[in-house]
Amino acid sequence: MAAPDASSDSTREAALDTIVAISTPPGRGGIGIVRLSGPCAVRIGEGLVRLRQPLEHGRARLADVPDAETDGHGDGARIDEAVVAFFAAPNSYTAEDVIEIAAHGSPVVLEMLLRRALALGARLAEPGEFTQRAFLSGRIDLTQAEAVRDLIEAQTLTQARQAASQLGGALSRRVLPVKQSLVELIALLEAGIDFAEDDVDVAPAEEIASRIDVLMPPLAALQSSFARGRIVHDGLTLAIVGRPNAGKSSLFNRLVERDRAIVTATPGTTRDTISERISLDGIPLELVDTAGLREAGEEVEQLGIARSREALADAALVLIVLDATQPLNDEERRLLAAVDGRPALIARNKCDLIASASSSAADESRAAIAEAHAAIPILSTSALTGEGISVLRERIVALATGGAASEPGMLTNLRHHQAIAGAIAALADAAKANAAAIPHEMILLDLYRALSALDSLTGQTTPDDVLNLIFSTFCIGK
């Protein structure tokens, strides 16, 4: 038997670097895509189908998918028809040769193509490995890579727009001018140290302070954008609490815009928490309708009230629903005291009934609320007529975002925020050292720390374990 030549060995080794995955979600669908990337993607892809025309970069080609089990070589009867797209390196998503086979979304056909590709020398892609290769090849930076995941996971149009903005490099563009100015300052100080004997002017302390001061405002603006960006990215939980029959479930249904919770005139209808996810002005909100807070004798109602208190403790926002026709009771006074200092709103519900109710009771309720907690905004609503609901929605959004406006290139996750906060802290230390006439060698240590923090944002100096953690959260095939 002839010994294998070097060329076949190198081909086998290259094939180990070619990855394959089913890039569409599990299950049946109209279309299913098998994606290959790597040096042997073309050879393996051509072995999976019978092309009707030769492959060409950026062009789709019709192909037959043969039944590989007919003769074991892919020359059997056609089992499906597919469209094959070829993207030649470096003009592809991964900057490698990429083949995408779009067949009908039959799980058995896609599985056959996947197994056949593995038999031809490809290996199964790890979660996020296609995007990781795009990052490692320099096609995208780390913030753009993370935006791919965010776009896939977006549940609101605002989340999708924010992810698309970041995928287009909006955050990187905000960081780049600061980074360039920082590098110029580092180069200036390095030159002064390296060429001091050649009479190169050393930057005076005033110039160093001025240059650091210029860097701080754009970083501070980025840091403050996290207040809204985090909420757009992650969303918040809003607990609706109050006494039985105050109209909590009715307001819940109004906000959800459908009859999600059962509403009756009998107090204590809601015995357990009910949750529903909605979007208000693009902000994802988990609304939690709770059982009415009161002293209960039944075990089931006691459990429901206990869960209501847990939901109140866990929620980021609280909507306290009061019956506008009734005076405050002791439980409501304790509730108002319990939310002291937390983001909260008061909805005086059933405002449409105030005219027919005792005016003294309504006045007593209004005065007691103001006395109990003047800092919590009070709104008048009617779940029956819809009065005040639009204003309530606006106030919930304002409470959630703290009034922060949407802007391109917002910080959307904790890693981004920590990187910017680290850069700001390092620059502040450099400014203090400069003011104290510390040698430039020591100031440079702080400046390099700031540069490293900015580099970690886009991925230039991010450790491998952090990269592996980030890309492991992606779905397989992306």
At 376, the pLDDT band (50, 70, 90 cuts) reads: confident
DSSP string, 129-143: HHHHHHHHTTSS-HH
- 52 domain residue, yes or no: yes
- The answer to the question of residue 137 being in a domain is no
Q: To the nearest whole percent, how much of the chain has pLDDT over 90?
A: 33
Residue 40 is part of which domain span? 6-125
C-alpha–C-alpha distance, residues 374 and 382, integer Å: 22
Helix (H, G, I), strand (E, B) or coil at 297: coil
Largest CA-CA distance found in the chain, in angstroms, rounded? 105
Query: Which residues, in sequence order, are CB contacts of 355 under 8 Å at separation 6+?
Result: none
pLDDT (average), residues 97-115: 94
Q: Are residues 321 and 342 in the same domain?
A: yes
What is the per-residue pLDDT across 148-188, written as a single tens digit (0 to 9) for each?
A: 988 888 888 888 888 888 888 899 999 999 999 999 898 88
How many domains does the structure of the chain reveal? 3
The answer to whether position 213 is within a domain reads yes
pLDDT band at residue 11 under the 50/70/90 scheme: very low
Write down which residue in 351, 379, 401 finishes a domain.
Answer: 401
pLDDT at 264: 46
Percent above pLDDT 70 for the chain: 82
Whether residues 341 and 445 share a domain: the answer is: no
Whether the per-residue pLDDT at 101 is higher than 90: the answer is: yes
Lowest pLDDT segment from 278-292, 360-374, 421-435: 360-374
In a domain, 130, yes or no: no
Mean pLDDT of the chain: 81
Whether 150 maps to a domain, the answer reads no
Examine the pLDDT at 359 and tell me if it is beyond 80.
no
Instruction: Answer whether residue 134 is part of any domain.
Output: no
What is residue 116's predicted lDDT score, i.e. its pLDDT?
93
Q: Is 470 within 8 Å of 142 (Cβ atoms)? A: yes
Q: What mean pLDDT is predicted for residues 412-433?
A: 93
Query: Do 162 and 252 belong together in one domain?
Result: no
Beta strand extents in 227-331 (DSSP E only): 236-242, 274-280, 283-289, 317-323
Residues 467 and 324 in one domain: no
Tell me, what's the pLDDT at 8?
A: 41
Could you report the per-residue pLDDT of 254-281, keeping only the tens digit for each? 888 766 554 444 444 454 578 888 888 8
Whether residue 111 sits in one domain with residue 68:
yes
State mean pLDDT over 83-111.
94
Give the list of residues 6+ apart from residue 310 with CB closer than 8 angstroms, or none. none
Question: Residue 15 in contact with residue 121, Cβ under 8 Å?
Answer: yes
Residues 108 and 254 both lie in one domain:
no
pLDDT tens column, 220-265: 999 988 888 888 888 888 888 888 888 888 888 888 876 655 444 4
CA-wise closest residue to 225 among 397, 399, 408: 408
Among 191, 219, 251, 198, which Cα is nearest to 393's?
251
Lowest mean pLDDT among 2-11, 112-121, 392-401, 436-445: 2-11
Lowest mean pLDDT across 100-104, 127-131, 308-312, 381-385 = 308-312
CATH number for the domain that contains residue 441: 1.20.120.430
Q: Which amino acid is at 225?
A: S
276 and 345, same domain (yes or no): yes
The CATH number of residue 101's host domain is 3.30.1360.120
Mean pLDDT, rounded, for 142-146:
89
Q: Are 208 and 185 in contact (CB under 8 A)?
A: yes
